[in-house]
Each structure stands twice: as C-alpha cells, then as structure tokens.
Amino acid sequence: MRSGRFAVTAELNPPDSADPQSVYERALVLAEVCDAINATDASGANVHMSSVGVCALLTRAGYEPVMQVSCRDRNRIAIQGDLLGAAAMGVRNVLCLTGDGVQAGDQPEAKPVFDLDSIALLRMARMLRDQGHFLSGRKLDVTPKFFLGAAANPFIPPYDFRPLRLAKKIEAGADFIQTQYCFDVPRFCQYMDAVRDLGLHERAYILVGVGPLRSAKAAEWMRSHVPGVVIPDEIVRRLSGVPPSKQREEGKRICIEIIQQVREIAGVSGVHVMAYRQEELVAEIIEEAGLLPRRWRSELGQTNPCEEVMV
C-alpha cells in the first residue's frame, strides 16, 4: 500500500468446519487476485472458525491475512493474548472492530462482552506495538509488528460525525481503513470531501468496501437484515429490472462500476471486496475492473518497478 499502488483486499468467510482444507480452498480463489485476505471474526454474531485460527492457517501457507478482531466476544485479557499469539503466528495486519450485537446472530442468548470499543481496541493494539506494554503497564519482551486497521461506515447517521470519528480512529492508531459496502457513491464522495479537508487520507490508507449483490431479493434481505448496509432504491430497481437469471451478472456489473467510480476519488487507496458466499466471483470482478495483474506484488512497503507503468 505504501507503494501507492491501488490495493485490493478480499473477505474470506470462515467455514463451519474443523478441516483446514476448507479454509485453503476458499483462500486459493482469493489469493491470486488480492493483496491480503480478511478473516472475519464471527461476523453477524454467527459462530464460524475463529479468525485467529484461520489466520494461523493462512500464514502457514504463505498468505497475507488481515485478522479481524471484534469486541463482542472477548474481554481485554483475551484480546491482548490473542494479539500476541497471532503476531507470533506471523499475522501482521489486524482490523479492530466493535462487532455486531449478539442479537444479530443465531445465538442471541449469548452474553455480549463489549469490554472495549473499537477505538479503545485500536489504542490498546498500538500500545502493545509502540509502547511495548500491556494495558496494565506490564512490559512485553518482544513487541508485535502490526499494521492496524479500522472500519468506517460513511453511509449512516450521524453523517457529519462520521469523518470526525474516522479522525478519532486514526488518532487511536489506525494505519488503514476498510469501509462498509459502498453502494451510494455520491454519499461516499461527500464523505471523502470531508476526509480530505481533515487531511485524513494522508494519515491512513482508505479501502472502499464493495461487493456483488446476488439478486434483487438478496439486496432487499441485506439492507433489512445486515446491520449498517445501505443499498439505495435505484440499485435494487436496477437489479429487479432484469430477469432473475441475469440478476447475478447485473450485480457483478454494478460492483465493477462502483469500483471504477471510487477508484477515481482522491484519497482512495484501494478496495475491499466482500462477496459473501460468492468468492468465485471475486477474481472475475477484480479482473474485469482492470485491477490485474497483481502477480508482481511484492512485500508490504517495498516499491515495485512496474509502479509507474501501472499507475
């Protein structure tokens, strides 16, 4: 990302399985086309293989994971331990989240923890990395070398607080940002205007969340059931305007168009593709959006000889 090349990350949905192969199968289709793979942490409050487990498998196979950490299920003691463990397993990127409420998932009777919030979690992770001690003040022997991330949702109220909240996250320690699904490009442009006024795009790499909608019905379901996802009516209308058999293709096309639009916005460093249960589409989307080849990708931080040609 520091090379200035347009970055691509993608979300891997952890399996409901104890078989490592099920993780590798999903990683394989994503790794070819993206720079890093996000491992979600019981997203939507539904239990799946843990993000720390998925990340350990991914680093073992040489992939670059982004470990998502949510505050819903673990307190500060557990999270600090997991961060160190993950770092020891080779995890370098951590996305700090508050997490959906337990009520969103299939076990709403669980105890919500929320000992920290996303910003306190970011600050704590930065403390481990930069100050070299736990929250209690106890020193670490070796500090973790994290690239810290945070989420942002520019599409929901209170709109004028959102850029300032991003500033708070960056102050707390965020080096990169991955946003919620972007379907409302004009709203995102407004947000980025405010972000640039605050100079935040120079302090953190902003990756825009995108993803294909499978059908008009799926879009309706998503916007009413998935917390924080905003899908404007015209997108749903555009999907329902084509026959059901063509809707998947249309959803993919919308996603590609959005990638091409947000790519032109100043201050955007990349995209984060979330294709829930449609991982096989990610490669097509990235290819058709003109973001390939990525094979010459080098280690984080190193500049690439092809850079000038590519940009």
Partner 1 sequence: MLRRLQDSPHFLEIVYQAVYRMLSPFQRWLTPGGRAEGLFVGLERLSKGPLFDCRMCGQCVLHQTGMTCPMTCPKNLRNGPCGGVRLDGTCEIYPDRPCIWVQAWERSRRMPVYGSEILQLQAPVNHSLKDTSAWINDFHLQQKMTPVGWDE
Binding mask 58-77 for partner 1 (x = CB under 8 A): -------------xx---x-
Q: Which stretch binds partner 1 (CB under 8 A): 4-12, 58-66, 145-153, 254-262?
A: 145-153
Interface residue with partner 1, options 107, 131, 260, 303 (CB under 8 A): 131
Q: Which stretch binds partner 1 (CB under 8 A): 82-90, 187-195, 211-219, 227-235?
A: 227-235
Q: Are 250 and 216 in contact (CB under 8 A)?
A: no
Decide: residue 199, CB within 10 A, 0-12 exposed, 13-18 middle, 19+ buried: exposed
The nearest distance, CB 118 to partner 1, in angstroms, is 7
The nearest distance, CB 18 to partner 1, in angstroms, is 30
Residue 124 in contact with partner 1, rule: CB under 8 A: yes
Least Cα distance to 248 among 211, 222, 283, 221 occurs for: 211
Residue 35 or 41: which CB sits closer to partner 1?
41
Residue 151 in contact with partner 1, rule: CB under 8 A: yes
164-195 b/e (C-beta count within 10 Å ≥ 16 → b): ebbbbbbebbbbbbbbbbbbbbebbebbbebb
Dist. CA 199–CA 237, nearest whole Å: 36
Least Cα distance to 15 among 271, 251, 279, 209 occurs for: 279
Residue 171 in contact with partner 1, rule: CB under 8 A: yes
Residue 263 in contact with partner 1, rule: CB under 8 A: no
The nearest distance, CB 157 to partner 1, in angstroms, is 5
Residue 167 in contact with partner 1, rule: CB under 8 A: yes
List phi, psi (to 5°) of 253.
-65, -40
Q: Which of residues 87-106 bind partner 1 (CB under 8 A)?
A: 98-101, 103-104
Residue 220 in contact with partner 1, rule: CB under 8 A: no
The nearest distance, CB 288 to partner 1, in angstroms, is 28
Q: Which stretch binds partner 1 (CB under 8 A): 11-19, 22-30, 122-130, 288-296?
A: 122-130
Instruction: Provide the binding-site residues for partner 1, judged by CB under 8 A.
Output: 71-72, 76, 98-101, 103-104, 112, 114-120, 123-124, 127, 131, 133, 135-137, 151-153, 156-158, 160-161, 164-165, 167-168, 171-172, 180, 227-228, 230
